[in-house]
Amino acid sequence: MAEELEIKLSLNTASLLAAMGWLLAQPEAQVGSKKSLVNCYYDTPDAELNNQQAALRVRQAGSQYIQTLKTRGEFVNGAHRRDEWEWPVSGPSLSLGLLAETSLGDYGDLARLAPVFETNFTRQVIMLDDGKAVIECAVDEGVIAAGGQEKPLHEVEFELVSGDPSRLLVWAETLARQCPVFLNLISKAEQGYYLAGIHVTAEDNDVQVDTHDDLDRLLHRLSYAWLVQGSVSLDGLDVQALAVQAEASGLGQSFATVVEALAKGQSLEDLLDKPELGQCQLGLLANRARRSLGP
């Protein structure tokens, strides 16, 4: 078992191209592999794995197959931290015996697992080594497919290989100043479950957020609204305190613009192509991280 720590950003097509160009131009960057990845996710007919906040897939990359199990884990300063098990397998079918020593080991009827959805995309890897951390940056473009439907996929992921975890947020925040991005807490698996019609979550009531931190609650609400293409409730949040933090980050006007749009009930889709949203998300996280370090 390994531990995965990554920050994921969603972008539109034009911004994805701009992000790719900017990343490749950085002196810390080294071009890595480019692969077409076919990923089949499995669950039971009653979505038992999704209920356990786990995701199980078999990925094909060329002639190689990798079986992966991930847990939901936790949200830490914009990054997902979760447990991950990976095994090479001989083909596209699940190897159920490999799950015995994982969190699914006590699950009773693994034979009920069947394909639910796919995430199929091209991944360009860019390695970033800034002297403080080594980060694998993945630029993903493709589709999520379930039940005869497809949803476009445009993402940039920063995953820590070694070194200082705070550099993930530094790189993500810097990218947000180059093109519009959206800090997205919804995984590819959650998107697939939603498209398949069996996503398990709660709308706007913070049940999925084990924290009283207003910033974390806002970020989760934004991500859920992105998933369902809905509006964002600000009820119960100390927006004024967040505004003070945004002002301290030099983002006072940008935050006011975002809050005004949300308060008017505008769909999140209206904000995704503008730079203010992602800059506020990542700037507020960076400000909190700096405050946690103290003077």
Q: Which residue type does 50 have?
A: N
How many angstroms separate the first and last alpha carbons of the chain? 37
Residue given tokens 């979505």 in the structure block: 47
Residue 231 in domain: yes
**Structural contact between residues 156 and 9, judged by C-beta atoms closer than 8 angstroms:** yes
Residue 274 in domain: yes
**Beta-carbon neighbour count of residue 160 at 10 Å?**
21
**Structural contact between residues 190 and 227, judged by C-beta atoms closer than 8 angstroms:** yes
Residue 255 in domain: yes
**Structural contact between residues 86 and 66, judged by C-beta atoms closer than 8 angstroms:** yes
pLDDT reported for residue 294: 57
Residue 150 in domain: no
Q: Using the CB atoms, write b or e for 227-252: b if 16+ within 10 Å.
A: beebbbbeeebebeebeebbeebebe
Residue 232 in domain: yes
Residue 25 in domain: no
Range of the domain at 238: 201-295
pLDDT reported for residue 203: 47
Per-residue pLDDT of the chain (295 residues; tens, 9 = 90+): 667 789 999 999 999 999 999 999 999 999 999 999 999 999 988 888 888 888 899 999 989 999 999 876 666 666 667 788 999 999 998 988 888 878 776 666 778 899 999 999 999 999 999 999 999 999 999 999 998 999 999 999 999 999 999 999 999 999 999 999 999 999 999 999 999 988 765 544 444 545 578 999 999 999 999 999 888 999 999 999 999 999 999 999 999 999 999 999 888 888 898 999 999 999 999 988 877 765 5
Residue 186 in domain: no
What is the number of structural domains in the chain?
1
- Integer angstrom CA distances of residue 171 from 231, 263, 295: 28, 30, 23
**Structural contact between residues 89 and 67, judged by C-beta atoms closer than 8 angstroms:** yes
Residue given tokens 């694998």 in the structure block: 136
Model's pTM, two decimal places? 0.89
pLDDT reported for residue 205: 42
Q: How far is CA 8 from the centre of its chain?
A: 4
pLDDT tens string 180-196:
999 999 999 999 999 99
Residue 290 in domain: yes
